[in-house]
Amino acid sequence: MKNKNNKILTEEINLSSIELDTKTTFEIVNLFSEADKEPQKAVNEAIPEIVKAIDEITLKLKSNGRLFYLGSGTSGRLGVLDASECPPTFCTSPDLVQGIIAGGVDSLTRSSEDLEDLPDLAISNLVDKNFNNKDVLIGITASGRTPYVLSALKYSKNLNALTISISSVPPNESILSSDIDIRLITGPEILAGSTRLKAGTATKMALNIISTTVMIKLGKVFENRMIDVSISNRKLFDRALGILVELGSVSKETGIQLLKKTNGSVKLSLLIALSDLDINKAKYILDKSNGNLRLALTKV
């Protein structure tokens, strides 16, 4: 609900942090600790919408669509962060999940909040990416009122692309043009209006859940292991080898040889280890299974 000053929820004063500047360090930290329980509650309340978003995004990506996060300021940075973590975590193409922030790369480290008031900029950014009806847009706006994001949502909806909104205000404070409307209601911030706090935390949690679950649905995970991990350093090689040894029941020496033979593909190495297929037959079955190891194993 709006308060008597007609402020939106993300701008309201948090009564628990009145006279924040007079409190001890312990009191401030304790306030934050208590407040940060709210993002989990907010995500829990939005589970039905998050589930629907995941299932719809998965269908789009299986049909050669792409996923775009779009926002300004903190919202944009969170989207770029989640998108940038997909290639090293799940060995995806950088084009599959992309983050767009008002102002581009410079806005990741420098304030560019003035750009959030430019609706045409959002359309231009999407056009530059050749955004189309095969794709998915997740527009992130804590206030539910950011012109840059609202314009992108409307443009996406008009293209009949899958359009998803994430905000931290109730529907009576902001009507968003989207197919799936995710509301992460975390209430007033400890520091009034600073949505990089609870609202940002809830958004980060939701994006983690969405992207990770979509990747699970796309066959990037077997049991609870990242079997499409990108081996780009020693730590990741050791992780890949550990996964192969544990799930494939092979020795470290055999695991190393399998990773060499498959050019570092944990998924293909696992299929060979679990089936005794030669590499060509294993590749063929994995391809026919759309890269899904569990499905491939049923065909052996």
Which position has the token pair 């294993």? 282
In angstroms, rounded to a whole number, what is the distance separating the alpha carbons of residues 86 and 93? 8
Out of 11, 38, 116, 189, the active site residue is: 116
Could you give the residue ranges of the DSSP H alpha helices within the chain? 25-35, 38-45, 47-62, 73-90, 119-128, 147-158, 198-217, 234-248, 252-261, 266-275, 279-288, 293-298
Q: What angle do CA 207, 184, 81 make, to 5 degrees?
A: 25
In angstroms, rounded to a whole number, what is the distance separating the alpha carbons of residues 152 and 139? 7
Length of the chain: 300
Which two three-digit tokens encode residue 56? 């719809």
Active site residue 116: yes
Cα-Cα end-to-end distance for the chain: 58
In angstroms, rounded to a whole number, what is the distance separating the alpha carbons of residues 240 and 225? 9
**What are the phi and psi torsion angles at 71 (to 5°)?**
-170, 180
What's the DSSP call for residue 46?
T
In angstroms, rounded to a whole number, what is the distance separating the alpha carbons of residues 107 and 41? 30
Active site residue 85: yes
The catalytic site residues sit at: 85, 116
